[in-house]
Structure 1
Amino acid sequence: MQIFENIQAASPDDFQEIVDVWEASVRATHHFLKEEDIQYFKPLILNEFLQAVNLFCIRNERGHIVGFLGTVKDKIEMLFIDPFNIEKGVGKLLLHYAISQLGAKKVDVNEDNHQAVDFYKHMGFQVVSRSDVDSMGKPYPILSMELVP
């Protein structure tokens, strides 16, 4: 589809730039995280998590990654946008791609990331469960959300 022409599969050559986008995005939106948590997750994302997902990115006219998406089966495992491109349609485009092209129906969101929770609710997702800790056992509540048909 032409609407998705700027979305492309990411390669290992893109991983460092993707981690840079992740870190900038997290610093702009995850104010509840401690610095040591960001430093803890950063190498895990670079060396493990990016390889464990179907990874796609969207680039600007200069070829720089402005957002990325990682899925496993029908679940969005990561969707992060460069802070300068938040609220410019990049996240919505990546989410539509995940749903229509990859069959995504589920996502887990940090409860304290109100911007993301509101975004997914606006896009038709609803909370189906809550966990007091994240997948690594850290004390950051997670909302499991699913797309409402």
Structure 2
Amino acid sequence: MRIGIVPFQEQDHDRLVEIWYEAVRDTHTFLTEEDIDFYHQMVKNGALDEVELWVEQNENNVPRGFIGLDGTKIEMLFVDPKYHGKGIGTRLIKHAEAIKGGNLQVDVNEQNEGACAFYKRYGFVRTGRSELDSSGRPFPLLHLSKTEASADER
């Protein structure tokens, strides 16, 4: 039985895509159906393979959330909406800090106010902004960083 945060297992791929989809529909209200379909295809067809994935599972080994890392950069963090507010995102960030150190970065959609507030609570501060997302679409990104010093100040 794998309980807690574990490395990605290929058999969990479809469940992670499902978590991504449900979380995006719940939190990315600024996206159109066409936008969601565009990104959904990317996630289904390889985006998860581009990052180091860690998955939080329940006692039945069912994924509830995941974080994707590229070095010290958080490329994705999604939690099943049924478990929002239950500490999964917090545990995933703490796991990233434990394995990568306290200097982390993340890009977050400017329109995703919930995510902006979430990262701010954990000591991330704005270091820049881009008008377009990484796919060249008109969804501004805020570039956020967290240093070990900012973690100590909390």
**Fold agreement, TM-score > 0.5:** yes
1:61 Cα deviation from its structure 2 partner = 2.2
1:33 matched to 2:31? The reply is: yes
Structure 1 unpaired stretches of 5+: none
1:52 matched to 2:50? The reply is: yes
Q: 2:129 maps to what in 1?
A: 130
Q: 1:121 maps to what in 2?
A: 120
Distance 2:49 2:9 in 1: 9
Distance 2:144 2:135 in 1: 18
* CA deviation map 1:64-110 (0-9, x unaligned): 21100000011000000000111110000001101121335100000
Q: 1:78 maps to what in 2?
A: 76
Runs of 4+ in 1 over 6 A off after TM superposition: none
* TM score, norm. by length of structure 2: 0.90
Q: 2:152 maps to what in 1?
A: none
Distance 1:64 1:34 in 2: 29
Percent identity over the alignment is 39
Structure 2 unpaired stretches of 5+: 150-154
Deviates more, 1:7-16 or 1:73-82: 7-16
1:11 Cα deviation from its structure 2 partner = 2.0
Distance 2:80 2:87 in 1: 12
* CA deviation map 1:21-60 (0-9, x unaligned): 0000001100001111111111211222100100110111
Distance 1:36 1:62 in 2: 34
Deviates more, 1:121-130 or 1:59-68: 59-68
Aligned residues: 145
Partner amino acid, structure 2, of 1:134: D
